[in-house]
A and B are shown apart, each in its own frame.
Chain A
């Protein structure tokens, strides 16, 4: 008797709870549910991306200084923009950045595609080689910056030793990070070392996407390996190569961490890429309004260039 009443109570409860839960779930339309899921993301994006961007735009028209927040803020109009665009130091930094971006992208693309082309030949152990080649990419830029500082060390550095071994010059006769002509190349080498694997990975995906039977058709059509490369491999992998160039270009335009650790912009300002100039203005001179204006200029530049580039990329892809 007791048992029976217990079991009937359980049944009763189950019946009571069920409709309540169902009704609560039913009460939400699909649209409401969708909003529920994306609202946190939207709020987060607004808070950490959109608001700071708008705030930076506002600050770029003022004399605001982050270390003197009690000084009344004065509206300056486009004064900062005018002085930045006419400042020879800024143009020097832009030139350093351009040198860095162009050379790293060129070297990484050529080497990355070359490596991908070799790996794609599927020789023995190509899987292991892929993993080994990808290692630098997995390291933190801070770690890379630190240990390349050691590799570039004139007395004990491995890099200098290897160059000395092959050229016969004394290892301590040159300083990769201390020489005004060598240091711009020193940062290019490190970035190429670290990010060539990334370009290789994207190119490899492109090469793997070309079906074998296209090559077989070309083989039967008497196309030489050379002609197969120029008329099949390269055009079909081109969208992937362009994508890799886009990613690396944008990344390196914003390059800060690795260069800051290796040279800090020196010697003098020979490796002072735009983001280091920006950091100095913002957090060493505390010229918040000025650096905000510079940041906006950089942002517009990258955004504009990337947009033109994506248009070209889409054109290539739709061929």
Chain B
């Protein structure tokens, strides 16, 4: 395990600037998640670190050594691909042993066996070792793909949306397991995802990336509570933060153009008040309900207790409770 440091890295594909001026340090034993929408440049950033793409400018240091121009094999990184990327004609065991059998590593066959079995137990696939890689379910394939990275002890594990192709239940399970394994091994992980839940639950720090640029990096709490702009604020929180004109509400600080109100920033009461809205639709999710409101022609989505018994057509009053404020360009304004 080691520290990975990338400094103002840029990469363009033709006319598309995939990554621009990205700087990021992943500390030893840290779990950093890069969160962003599709096409934000997350995967490109990961591939640049792995050496699968050549960068246009900037530098990459792994464990203190300059790796900017090194071949993928020399960087001592492990990569978990989104599409599993298993060797289909090999067994699970052979897939996991593949990297260890590289002649440059000189690992004894007995040690390989011990190591693979150890990792397989960790991932609960020890009974599948003799199966062909293609005879597994999606969840098992992804475990093998992760296992193939884990048998090595690389400087850093680079994971490209490894759970995105799994169903929700399995994703939840593997999320917990991955975090457990990371803590157990003290592994350094850079994890790319567009799923805020994965980023929030696993990462020690989250980097929010948008249009090839790193917008903000910090602990999940920092990012959630103190987003530097409306983009970052919109990345986290379920339902998505409501961005409303500040003029709709009375007391806004100087320069604030937009109010960002998540569920916890809104107090709802029956009957009309200073700011009134109409209930358009109620989605019952069981333990809670999504309340779709109409506030002077603008949609507002918030959570409500199902016991509150709101129905379509009801008039409610809204009160803000320490919301976030943004200026006309979307940058944060102190309350």
Q: Which residues of A contact B (CB under 8 A)?
A: 211, 213-214, 216-224, 227, 231-232, 235-236, 319
Q: How many residues of B contact A (CB 8 A)?
A: 23
A residues near B78, Cβ cutoff 8 Å: 220
Check if B87 sits within 8 Å of A231, measured CB to CB.
Answer: yes
Q: Which of B21-29, B101-109, B200-208, B254-262 contacts A (4 or more CB under 8 A)?
A: B101-109
Which one, B85, B89, B99, contacts A235 given CB within 8 A? B89
Tell me the bound Cα distance from A41 to B89 in angstroms: 40
Which one, B50, B52, B81, B98, contacts A223 given CB within 8 A? B98
Chain A proximity of B112: nearest CB distance (Å): 13
Interface of B is mostly: loop
B residues near A224, Cβ cutoff 8 Å: 102-103
Check if A236 sits within 8 Å of B88, measured CB to CB.
Answer: yes
B residues near A223, Cβ cutoff 8 Å: 73, 98, 102
B residues near A218, Cβ cutoff 8 Å: 87, 98
Check if A221 sits within 8 Å of B102, measured CB to CB.
Answer: yes
Check if A222 sits within 8 Å of B81, measured CB to CB.
Answer: no
Q: A235-B89, A319-B132 are in contact. Are A220 and B79 (CB under 8 A)?
A: yes
Sample (12) of A-B pairs whose CB atoms are under 8 Å apart: A211-B85, A214-B85, A216-B52, A219-B52, A219-B71, A219-B73, A220-B77, A222-B73, A222-B102, A223-B73, A224-B102, A236-B88
Tell me the bound Cα distance from A220 to B158 in angstroms: 11
Shortest Cβ distance from B71 into A: residue: A219
Q: A216-B52, A221-B99, A221-B102 are in contact. Are A232 and B87 (CB under 8 A)?
A: yes
Tell me the bound Cα distance from A213 to B89 in angstroms: 15
- Enumerate B82-118 residues with CB–CB distance to A below 8 Å: 83, 85, 87-90, 98-99, 102-105
B residues near A220, Cβ cutoff 8 Å: 50, 52, 72-73, 77-79, 99
B residues near A217, Cβ cutoff 8 Å: 79, 81, 85, 87, 148
Which one, A216, A227, A236, contacts B85 given CB within 8 A? A216
Tell me the bound Cα distance from A236 to B88 in angstroms: 8
Tell me the bound Cα distance from A219 to B102 in angstroms: 11
Q: Which residues of B contact A (CB under 8 A)?
A: 50, 52, 71-73, 77-79, 81, 83, 85, 87-90, 98-99, 102-105, 132, 148
Shortest Cβ distance from B94 into A: residue: A231
Q: A216-B81, A216-B85, A236-B89 are in contact. Are A221 and B103 (CB under 8 A)?
A: no
Chain A proximity of B125: nearest CB distance (Å): 18
Check if B73 sits within 8 Å of A214, measured CB to CB.
Answer: no
Tell me the bound Cα distance from A214 to B87 in angstroms: 7
Tell me the bound Cα distance from A232 to B86 in angstroms: 11
Chain A proximity of B90: nearest CB distance (Å): 8
Tell me the bound Cα distance from A236 to B78 in angstroms: 23
Q: A216-B81, A236-B88 are in contact. Are A222 and B99 (CB under 8 A)?
A: yes
Tell me the bound Cα distance from A67 to B102 in angstroms: 71
Check if A213 sits within 8 Å of B83, measured CB to CB.
Answer: yes
B residues near A231, Cβ cutoff 8 Å: 87, 90, 98
A residues near B73, Cβ cutoff 8 Å: 219-223
Check if B81 sits within 8 Å of A213, measured CB to CB.
Answer: yes
Q: Nearest 10 pairs between A and B by C-beta?
A: A221-B99, A222-B102, A222-B73, A217-B85, A219-B72, A213-B85, A220-B79, A235-B89, A220-B72, A319-B89
A residues near B105, Cβ cutoff 8 Å: 222
B residues near A235, Cβ cutoff 8 Å: 89
Greatest chain B CB density within 10 A among A220, A221, A227, A231 is at A220
Q: A220-B77, A221-B102, A221-B148 are in contact. List 8 more A-B contacts (CB 8 A).
A: A211-B83, A213-B83, A216-B81, A219-B52, A219-B72, A220-B52, A220-B78, A221-B99
Chain A proximity of B32: nearest CB distance (Å): 19
A residues near B104, Cβ cutoff 8 Å: 222
Chain A proximity of B61: nearest CB distance (Å): 18
